[in-house]
Structure 1
């Protein structure tokens, strides 16, 4: 009999492919195109940062969930740049079919939940959906306007979008963002200090897309980056919350995982299977705390302090929410290693006892059923390679 965990893992493995869907816009440094997985993470961060500008009654946590989901259909249909001739009705029909195929991998109740949220976003009628759509319109615009050296053609697309395209709707949905975009497009400085601070924060966060981890993406084509990793584990945490051993509040867990790796912009990623002595670990912890204070310090003070507090709660790993968040942070790399023939286990010569100690203990503390399921999956690999 297929269990809910099997279905959830199948879905989460399938949507991992979103990392290989490239979009038109570039990273802020111009080094490459952004992919749809890291774009979805960045939008969730936009929602958190610009939440204070949302209309009364908007649920930012529902907005974040919509944005985590909204582009998953691109696994089947790809991304469609807004300036290219496109049969949008045909695209909408293809996306509906893709949604039905992909979400049907989940248990029926979660399939229904995600389907309803995705369709609400697409319908663009509710207050939550309208603000989520506004953020989806904003991010590519600011990716261009705040870039180091935006291509002239991208600037043309932004100008057209703001004057005659879908982003005109920002005048009503998110007037502060529309005003800021028009100001930046004309080469002037922003006068709304709080908006400028939040924009500086989300732009600085773009660098997380260039922090690479020890695990490869499932296709093996490249190493994963920490932004797309954060997107993926947020979905792990959301969907597997029913297996949590603690009384975790999923909305707080999602916020923790949205923010948890931002410090790697300054401190870098530390592979879990690397050998680190006590002095090095202390130095890393100090560097990460300094990074958290710098990055969250870019935000308006009260919001920055809130983000720093929830990041510190995650790091302390003592609250129910943090225990579960920490456990889920350990799950996804195991699945990627299985998909890539061992991945970082080969690179770091990892044995099963080491994996039990470094990963299993933490996962089992927060989600024991998840670890039981995973260990049964990974045991054949360690047996085959003589690493018991």
Structure 2
């Protein structure tokens, strides 16, 4: 069992590198280029919110596919569709990346993850078709929201819409296609509901990529943001759900983790080792949930709010496991980065036990057992 968890954790540590792969499109506010990890989180959110456009796809499965779809960019990099490249060379590089990355996992998971990625790449199933449709739409709307969009960028977007991969959406998703066309051609025509409300919500959610956490990336190069954290913690859940304290519904856990930090757009991140008024933060988060989920049509508003409330309460089996991983992932980031937030906040081993360990043990005791010896070794060497 320990060898299995060790392999899974090695894979999740390697996956952290996706946060350092820069894409060709900007964030919605134009402040910087997007990275592939936060993109992967965002398209999962799009897939959930626009599920009625899926043509009957299995949405939990689509979300798992999108969690994995760009992992190969750790080795192969991003290849913007408007720049020249050799398709055969890219395909070979991506295949080699898939061979290496998925081989880090235990054999059964290596096969399952690779099959999901292969299915996405082929794009022939209903699930893959919807996943690829979302993957085409999200970057286009980010670019169209960029306040600094210039003539050159606009020409590129015209080409992508007219003859590039976005052109497929004219038949597959006409609401998205025609609204993008209106924005691109500066026509002030507003989309109809419920598309309009859903689009406002997913575009507002883009701000989560600018909320910085106390935890750094595994390489210590910068602080993690809450969008890419949400992607990573979902991948943790998908990979480690067998180690839950009790059987869980993975689709529910993934939905919780997809949504769990959205309130930080308004309320900010409050590191567990920081000094803050818990009651005041909880009140801010409730107001944030009111505003953000309130942007959605009523049925989706209530469904998403209920999932977020279940996570916050941490009483159900699914929520207990989700919360445990949300505490475990920063432990590994701190270990890999040489101490990270433990150094920043002068955390003691005793504080870690009472603030973090008890929560990890509650939902994922085997994961704690796998990490604890490394934690003990770090504190022995650094205190």
Q: Confirm or deny that 1:159 pairs with 2:162.
A: no
8 Å CA contact retained: 1:44, 1:258: yes
8 Å CA contact retained: 1:131, 1:174: no
Q: Confirm or deny that 1:133 pairs with 2:143.
A: no
Matches of residues 243-282 of structure 1 in structure 2 within 5 Å?
243-276=243-276, 280-282=277-279
Aligned to 2:326: 329
Aligned to 2:310: 313
Aligned to 1:105: 104
Aligned to 1:31: 31
8 Å CA contact retained: 1:46, 1:135: yes
CA distance in 2, matches of 1:241, 1:77: 28
Aligned to 1:195: 195
CA distance in 2, matches of 1:2, 1:237: 17
Residue of structure 2 aligned with 1:300, choices 280, 286, 297? 297
Q: Where does structure 2 lack aligned partners over 5 or more consecutive residues? A: none
CA distance in 2, matches of 1:151, 1:374: 49
CA distance in 2, matches of 1:43, 1:186: 25
Aligned to 1:222: 222
- State the 1:84 CA deviation: 0.7
CA distance in 2, matches of 1:291, 1:308: 11
8 Å CA contact retained: 1:237, 1:253: yes
- State the 1:65 CA deviation: 0.9
CA distance in 2, matches of 1:191, 1:239: 39
Q: Confirm or deny that 1:209 pairs with 2:206.
A: no
CA distance in 2, matches of 1:344, 1:38: 21
Matches of residues 65-76 of structure 1 in structure 2 within 5 Å?
65-76=64-75
CA distance in 1, matches of 2:130, 2:275: 45
Please give the secondary structure, in 2, of the residue aligned with 1:240. Answer: helix
**Number of equivalenced pairs:** 382
Any idea what the Cα deviations from partners look like across 1:207-235, whole Å, max 9, x if unmatched? 11110011111221110100000000000
- State the 1:62 CA deviation: 1.1
- State the 1:2 CA deviation: 6.6
8 Å CA contact retained: 1:131, 1:173: no
- State the 1:148 CA deviation: 2.5
Instruction: Give the ranges of 4+ consecutive aligned residues of structure 1 lying more than 6 Å apart after TM superposition.
Output: none
Change (3 A) 1:303 1:385: same
CA distance in 1, matches of 2:339, 2:150: 40
Q: Where does structure 1 lack aligned partners over 5 or more consecutive residues? A: none
Any idea what the Cα deviations from partners look like across 1:188-221, whole Å, max 9, x if unmatched? 2323121111110111011111100111112211
- State the 1:247 CA deviation: 2.3
CA distance in 1, matches of 2:352, 2:129: 44
Please give the secondary structure, in 2, of the residue aligned with 1:247. Answer: coil
